[in-house]
Amino acid sequence: MDTIARGQWGNWVIQHIVEHGHPDDRLRALDIIINYSATYSTDQFASKVIEKALKCCGPEIFQSYIAKIVEKEPGRPRVALIDISSDLYGNYLIQYVLQHGPPCVREQISFHVRKHMVSLRGSRYGQRVAFQVERLRTAGQKSVNWPQQGRWD
C-alpha cells in the first residue's frame, strides 16, 4: 500500500478505498495512512490520500493525524507538523485542518505553530500556515466580550 499511495495513479485507488471501501479495508488503509502521515503529508501524491481521509472520515481522523504529526520522534529536531507546514504539499493539509478541524485540534496545531512562528514566516509555504494561526488568534480575541468605552456592563 505504501508504494501505491505514493504513486501518480495508485493514490486514487487508496483514496477510493478510504472513501468507499469495505469497512475492514478502510480501517487497514487508515491505519497505514495515519502511521506514515508525517512522510505522506510531504509527498506529492500521498498527501492527496491524507486529504481524502481528513475530508471523509470524521473528527477522529483529524485527532489521530494531529497526534501523529506532533509526536516527538527521536533524531528529529522538531515535530513533523512544522516541516509539513513549510512544505509545498503539506501546508495545504495543515491549512485544511485549521479551517475544518474541531477546535481542540486547531488549538493543538496553533500551540506548536506559535513556537516556530519565526521560521514559518521565513518559509514561502509556512507563512500561509502562520497567517491562518494568527487569523484564528485574532478571531478568538474578537469573540471575547471586551468592555465598551472602558467599562464592563
Residue 18 counted as domain residue: yes
pLDDT of residue 139: 80
How many structural domains compose the chain? 1
pLDDT of residue 141: 60
**Is the pLDDT confidence value at 56 over 80?**
yes
Q: How confident is the model at residue 102 (pLDDT cuts 50, 70, 90)?
A: confident
Residue 149 counted as domain residue: no
Residue 20 structural domain: 2-142
Residue 60 counted as domain residue: yes
pLDDT of residue 148: 45
Residue 34 counted as domain residue: yes
Residue 151 counted as domain residue: no
pLDDT of residue 142: 57
Share of the chain above pLDDT 70, in %: 92
Considering the entire predicted model, what is its pTM? 0.85
Residue 88 counted as domain residue: yes
Residue 44 counted as domain residue: yes
Residue 87 counted as domain residue: yes
- CATH code, domain with 26: 1.25.10.10
Please answer whether residues 116 and 77 qualify as being in contact, where contact means their C-beta atoms are separated by less than 8 angstroms. no
Question: What does the H/E/C string look like for the chain?
Answer: CHHHHCCCCHHHHHHHHHHHCCHHHHHHHHHHHHHCHHHHCCCCCHHHHHHHHHHHCCHHHHHHHHHHHCCCCCCCCCCHHHHHHCCCCHHHHHHHHHHHCCHHHHHHHHHHHHHCHHHHHCCCCHHHHHHHHHHHHHHHHHCCCCCECCECC
pLDDT of residue 96: 94
